[in-house]
Structure 1
Amino acid sequence: MKPALPTLFISHGAPTLLIDPVPTRDFLATLGADMPRPQGIVCISAHWTTRAPLTTHTAQPDLIYDFGGFPDELYRMTYPAPGNPSLAERVTQLLENRGIETGRDMARGLDHGAWVPLKLMYPHADIPVVQLSVQPHLGPAHHAAIGAALRPLREEGVLILASGSATHNLRDFFGRALDAPPPQYVKEFDDWLCRAVEADDRDSLLEYRDRGPNALANHPTPEHFLPLFVAMGAGGQGRVLHRAFTYGVISMGAFAWE
């Protein structure tokens, strides 16, 4: 039997990650090759929020260019990865088996929280991709329970890829240079997050709003942090894969649970 795949949380940053000369671009460009090749990918993206978890059952998903004001070349980019309705149905069944209300989306494509990092990780676009939505109103424990329900996928050659941002305060984003150093409130939260992941301190992570330093300053809204709990819930011991910052306030941290 092949070993179970790790689960991943990666920070996808701005769509310009695909063209910016930053360390995270180089990291993601080698990450896929450094791992066993998955047979399919379930991507939990911060950019799809719904009342209850939904999966994409699209056989050939289009790209969603869900951003504005960026260089024209980003809107010309393609990522023709196939979908996998059978894998989407497997996700649906696993969630329903745990009593988690869920549903099916028969038309949605891939948003930039999915296709931007995947274009770096798997540039040939030859691995089927299914997206799973997040529920900002339901909190960390709900998303950890989703991850626990999806854990069997790891034994089935499916990569659970959570895509969000380790810190994400866009109110403090404007006017900062791409390579600006992180302000103290960002660095303190990022340091705490890395320690908590490597210590497997799940209680602290689940209660990040109360226990994480400057938590609300770093995540005024939760949607970019909640995918992390799906990856955590589906995996075992956590470890830090990558640390970097863009525009000072955006931590590009990446983590694996094995």
Structure 2
Amino acid sequence: MPALYLSHGAPPLADDPLWPGQLAAWAAELPRPRAILVVSAHWEEAPLALGSVETLPLVHDFWGFPERYYEVRYAAPGAPELAADVRALLRGPGRPVQDVPDRGLDHGAYVPLVEMFPKADIPVLQISMPTLDPRELMEMGRRLAPLREEGVLIIGSGFFTHNLAALRGPAGSVPGWSAEFDAWGSEALAAQDVDALLDFLHEAPSGRLAHPRTEHFAPLFVTLGAAHAAGDLAANRQVIDGFWMGLAKRSVQFG
């Protein structure tokens, strides 16, 4: 399977005239996964945690939206076998792994999956980010890479730029900091410049404006690790670009 980093949007993504179709078309080009492993910007927990291996209600971790967004359901099967594989790959001396059996999928997982795999018939496991350190997350991705050979689709789910507090201007406008960072990131990915990406806060123009807190860029490094371990950094394709509410929705596939 390939490894993906995608910008996951927010609940109103479902109403966008373009983006849901882009996600659906992307999924239609992929081999059918045996299971899906998601690392979302919206779950940070240490030690590393595995979410439910049963079908649970979704985590509607957002506020102030119309009621219809809280009525969304995504009853994907749990993935106990995948959870066992993840434990075996990630647990070790100084690397504990915990289970959080009552945690369902958050919007960083289910919002894009609703558009990509709407039948909800593929087992899904969500795991936490135990750190925001890019190098540690890349190592985590390397450890997870063997799952790709077993038919598991690894998805790092974030947002290529993410600073809601700095969004200004009329609807549909793109702030300079968002455009600058997006252009830099596109070039770094195309050049396979992992060192620059790892040091994005210092290397990228407007790095700290685009990501004042780095949790939405951090899942990229899990994906990069899973790609690097398989020698797939050169086989990358930036599948989705452009902006949504001023934020870069750039999304990339490796392999």
Task: Give the TM-score, by structure 1 length.
Answer: 0.92
Match of 1:133 in 2: 128
Measured against aligned partners, the alpha-carbon deviations of 1:82-117 in whole angstroms (never above 9, x if no partner) come to 111121121111012586332221111010110110
Q: How well do the aligned residues superpose, as a CA RMSD in angstroms?
A: 1.5
Secondary structure of 1:233 counterpart: helix
Identical aligned pairs, as a percentage?
Answer: 42
Identify which range, 168-177 or 12-21, moves more after superposition. Answer: 168-177
Offset at residue 38 of structure 1 (A): 0.1
- Pick closer, same or farther for the CA change 1:98–1:225 going to 2, 3 Å: farther
Aligned length: 249
The amino acid of 2:163's aligned partner reads N
Maintained 8 Å contact 2:40/2:156: yes
Measured against aligned partners, the alpha-carbon deviations of 1:48-69 in whole angstroms (never above 9, x if no partner) come to 1112221114221321111111
Offset at residue 181 of structure 1 (A): 3.0
The equivalent position to 1:53 in structure 2, one of 48, 68, 72, is 48
CA distance in 1, matches of 2:11, 2:50: 23
Match of 1:245 in 2: 243
CA distance in 1, matches of 2:85, 2:156: 18
Match of 1:215 in 2: 207
| Residue 13 of structure 2 corresponds to residue 17 of structure 1 | yes
CA distance in 2, matches of 1:37, 1:106: 26
Match of 1:225 in 2: 217
CA distance in 2, matches of 1:8, 1:163: 8
Structure 2 regions of 5+ residues with no counterpart? Answer: none
The residue correspondences of 1:103-182 to structure 2 (distance < 5 A) are: 103-136=98-131, 138-173=132-167, 176-177=170-171, 180-182=172-174
The amino acid of 1:193's aligned partner reads G
Structure 1 stretches of 4+ with a deviation exceeding 2 A read 97-102, 173-176
Match of 2:192 in 1: 200
Task: Give the TM-score, by structure 2 length.
Answer: 0.93
The amino acid of 2:137's aligned partner reads H
Secondary structure of 2:214 counterpart: coil
The amino acid of 2:98's aligned partner reads G
CA distance in 2, matches of 1:176, 1:39: 43
Structure 1 regions of 5+ residues with no counterpart? Answer: none
- Pick closer, same or farther for the CA change 1:58–1:176 going to 2, 3 Å: farther
Secondary structure of 1:124 counterpart: coil
Secondary structure of 1:32 counterpart: helix
The amino acid of 2:224's aligned partner reads M
CA distance in 1, matches of 2:73, 2:250: 25
Maintained 8 Å contact 2:10/2:111: no
The amino acid of 2:146's aligned partner reads P
Maintained 8 Å contact 2:26/2:239: no
Maintained 8 Å contact 2:159/2:248: yes
The amino acid of 2:254's aligned partner reads W
CA distance in 2, matches of 1:24, 1:160: 21
The residue correspondences of 1:29-40 to structure 2 (distance < 5 A) are: 29-40=24-35
Maintained 8 Å contact 1:98/1:149: no
